[in-house]
Structure 1
């Protein structure tokens, strides 16, 4: 029997199926869907329209391109069983995987010569293989692919770039519309510690693979019932196909760096990644795409452990997060700089 390495963490893709009463299903990508050849010619990659997450064209050997989700919260790149079968990829050893709903054993496949055109590197990865319907796409790119690079997400332009990281210029002062935060690295993920709720420090994990922002019980207890709007249950599906229930509400007075949010939509549940990060007893958030879309641009530089948030041009206007949950308007950043 093969000895298992430490459990693999997969934060991504907590898919809201809607409120328990009257929700809507999210579209999933056809496993055979591929991007056009022109989509991978430049370093500028269009944001995928699959849902609120991001996709980029990925080539495996001389096959593809295939639309993979960019997931800054996942340790490893993942491919769907459908794509693995289509490409006849060889099986790897089973591993333990930590998803939002717990720890489970999953099969892996050997993915040869995986590449993103803008990065320009070929490498072989051992990837967990999960169902395309649960992934919401044919695959996702995790920290093992992104760790030496910078991911830049321009929400106003609707574009994303992935490029090699450069040595940080410590003499460069942030622009007035920028907030620059140095994060700490844990298992490859970036955790922002310069974040607060009403004066209490909170830990924030950046997770572009999750459509909704998750909070733990420690944060919920700190906020208290009197500071939140009435919560309602939503049903969520992890990448392994298992389901969980979370309480969805809005939390006031969240501050990340020098940016103060008026309100931030948060789904509260003590999901497995909080334990994985050692954040069970400390107030913490998994910052998903609904919150990140509050900014005009987000630059995530993994080697330099730096996150650069660019404010919208008019910070006085309300800017929602594009929440998929019916009846929830989303977050609105205040003038925090």
Structure 2
């Protein structure tokens, strides 16, 4: 199986690459990031097989969590998932606290919708955010990998700080009127919340204009097939190697799709090169009404190229700090 860790391992040699200070002095602001090592070898290895399986879930090393208190009881750890509409609990937490059951609800995931129970929560606190008197869905631990998920319903007006170098995650109050000093090692990208989550402005993937969302709960970056078609049209006169894949989600479901090495991804003044990306028409794209428009979810595989990422829901921006991120270097089959 081609796991998210294997994907990271294929790019792991970036850690041995030149430091930012060693980059050529003619590098433009749009290419401040350390260059991602070309993955031709990885693509060639994948091409030996008629189809590969790409695990899109988070592995334990990538699953950064935040301390969470439920109904005054501390000791729980939640994954902050900026791609999830709702905060979610797991059965073990519900049982431990003896939470009252609420009405069943339909939860829309990557590959489909499922009816699940809910639980009544008086208070939920995580860092400097929280929810009160909430009815929250309950999903199996295997789908979450933690005590729960903190979704965008709890992140309004908040700043999510993901520090891969320190392996820490914080949720703070946003200060939208305050403009922090940004050094040459930081790039700020404008965003808005038109679709209920941070939407990066001015994103182009392999030259194709696209909506782009930060998905801190996803292990692999995924674009829809409308984006794949747009990229193919842009690259008609150049090489566009495509690998057929089976995309394995956190729920164990399989989705047919494609895999490409994207030559450039631009987000405002930030540019990445030779970035891996899967493509599939996920159920969640259809649920958002975006199947016909090029759109991508940027997962932890791309976020970990940076030392630190700040998702400011209050100020409407994403701040990327350049430098050695937290890519695991172990190749796992």
Q: Normalised by the size of structure 2, how large is the TM-score?
A: 0.75
Please report how far the alpha carbon of residue 176 of structure 1 lies from its aligned counterpart in structure 2 after TM superposition. Answer: 2.0
Q: Residue 62 of structure 2 is aligned with which of 52, 55, 58?
A: 52
**Alignment pair present for 1:128 and 2:113:** no
Q: Which residue of 1 aligns with 2:260?
A: 249
**Alignment pair present for 1:69 and 2:69:** no
Structure of higher RCO (CA pairs closer than 8 Å, 6+ residues apart): 2
Please report how far the alpha carbon of residue 153 of structure 1 lies from its aligned counterpart in structure 2 after TM superposition. Answer: 1.3
**Alignment pair present for 1:220 and 2:232:** no
Contact 1:53 1:289 in 2 (8 A): no
Q: Which residue of 2 aligns with 1:206?
A: 214
Contact 1:236 1:246 in 2 (8 A): no
**Cα separation, partners in 2 of 1:323 and 1:79, compared to 1, 3 Å:** farther
Q: Residue 162 of structure 1 is aligned with which of 171, 174, 187?
A: 171
Separation in 1 of the partners of 2:273 and 2:116?
Answer: 41
Q: Which residue of 1 aligns with 2:275?
A: 264
**Alignment pair present for 1:231 and 2:240:** no
Separation in 1 of the partners of 2:240 and 2:330?
Answer: 19
Please report how far the alpha carbon of residue 64 of structure 1 lies from its aligned counterpart in structure 2 after TM superposition. Answer: 3.8
Q: Which residue of 2 aligns with 1:83?
A: 93
Please report how far the alpha carbon of residue 320 of structure 1 lies from its aligned counterpart in structure 2 after TM superposition. Answer: 8.5
2:138 match: secondary structure: strand
Q: Which residue of 2 aligns with 1:104?
A: 114
Contact 2:57 2:250 in 1 (8 A): no
1:186 match: secondary structure: coil
1:94 match: secondary structure: strand
**Alignment pair present for 1:286 and 2:297:** yes
Cα deviation, 1:112-138, whole Å, max 9, x if unaligned, reads 22212x327563321110110122222
Separation in 1 of the partners of 2:331 and 2:211?
Answer: 24
**Alignment pair present for 1:143 and 2:155:** no
Separation in 1 of the partners of 2:297 and 2:310?
Answer: 17
Q: Residue 192 of structure 1 is aligned with which of 197, 200, 203?
A: 200
**Cα separation, partners in 2 of 1:282 and 1:122, compared to 1, 3 Å:** closer
Contact 2:245 2:259 in 1 (8 A): yes
Separation in 2 of the partners of 1:149 and 1:197?
Answer: 28
Please report how far the alpha carbon of residue 22 of structure 1 lies from its aligned counterpart in structure 2 after TM superposition. Answer: 8.3
Q: Could you list the runs of 5+ residues in structure 2 that have no partner in the other structure?
A: 7-45
Contact 1:297 1:309 in 2 (8 A): yes
Separation in 2 of the partners of 1:173 and 1:164?
Answer: 18
Please report how far the alpha carbon of residue 247 of structure 1 lies from its aligned counterpart in structure 2 after TM superposition. Answer: 2.8
**Cα separation, partners in 2 of 1:259 and 1:187, compared to 1, 3 Å:** closer
Q: Could you list the runs of 5+ residues in structure 1 that have no partner in the other structure?
A: 1-14, 29-49, 314-318, 328-337
1:168 match: secondary structure: coil
Contact 1:253 1:260 in 2 (8 A): yes
Decide which structure has greater helix share: 2
Contact 2:152 2:197 in 1 (8 A): yes
Contact 1:219 1:284 in 2 (8 A): yes
Separation in 1 of the partners of 2:231 and 2:137?
Answer: 37
Calculate the aligned-residue CA RMSD, in Å.
3.1
